[in-house]
Amino acid sequence: MDFIKILENKTITDVPFFKAAGIHCGLKREKKDLCVIYSEKKAVAAAVFTNNKVKAAPVLLNMKTIANKNIQAIVANSGNANACTGAAGYKDAEVMAELTAKELNLTPGEVLVASTGIIGEPLKFDKITKGIKMACENLSFHGGNDAGNAIMTTDTFQKKIAIEFNLGNKKAMISAIAKGSGMIHPNMGTMLSFVVTDTNISKVMLDKALKESVLDSYNMVSVDGDTSTNDMVIVLANGACENKLIDSEDDDYEIFKTALHFVNVELSKMIAKDGEGATKLLEVIVNNAKTLNDAKVCSKSVITSSLVKAAFFGADANWGRILCALGYSGADLNVNAINILFSNQAGHIQICKNGGNIPFDESLAKKILNEDKITITIDLNDGNFTATAWGCDLTYDYVKINGSYRS
């Protein structure tokens, strides 16, 4: 990926013609809780939404709106998920789009809506109304960080990235902000990701690139096994780069898709690292599976196992738990051929060979497991397919955070 340049200290409002604002309107006690992202130029959009059958009102609304040819704005609030709120909640989502559209001289069908926070409580709409007006009045080309802060809930740091790459003789940008810490599981979780780009690309090709990327990025993350009601990934592309329109699977499409996937993978890692109460980022790489599905199923099973996650919190090289998770994954595998290794900057060590015990240096294993990032490499020795999943350890603080989330 030498063609991708990471732009330090840049955010979504460094992408040409994108403005943003993040403000505090009172949904949360003190922190910013509402943002608007706006493209001054017309834009095409693509999105992927939660697979949970219980979908929040903004998700249900966006599933209709996303079909529209032009989408120029996103309005998002934190502190209240507007989920399980019935017809009234759906109307509230519609009104959020209407209010934002009015302020920006758009139609409601050109605005997407997102919410995150507590489930089952109606929105405080007097605060939302004032907040949308305030955010729209404060839109600027310097508001990217404020917008990123406004979508955070239990996140401990802002998740953002900006990159630059060439399309022909043009320099294109992709930048994104995301939130996600708990209720995160493959098929996406309490996760919002807003991606903006100046790439000139058709809606059909943007949709294809995003949906293919999600399968190997956000959908390979698990923090706690809970798939949320609100999660969504949205990409807006306003064409300001003025590259030749990408309307087929040509070389420029492959470059764009690779760049978009890079952004999504980096955000996925940030989300996994910031799991509620987490102290360690876990990366599970499964090699040499019979099929791609087997590789994915195995990596997800390991990263989701509460026993595996607890062992990593305690820096316990309990490889039996990993083998157990592989065994109940449902994948087609030969348990007598499996090798397991741990690695990071502290070193690397093999702890399981051919599905069984081997002597290993416990002190080195402990040293590796005490680092804040650990790669678990699993060789199934049964095929040619590979998959990677990301997650985190399971700590006392996870229970503390989620035992008192409403208070």
Active-site annotation, residues: 190
Backbone angle region of 388, left / alpha / beta, with phi > 0 → left and psi within -120 to 50 → alpha: beta
Kindly list the distances between the CA atom of residue 53 and the CA atoms of 57, 84, 200, 229, 300, in Å, as whole numbers in the listed order.
Answer: 12, 11, 34, 8, 21
The amino acid sitting at 312 is F
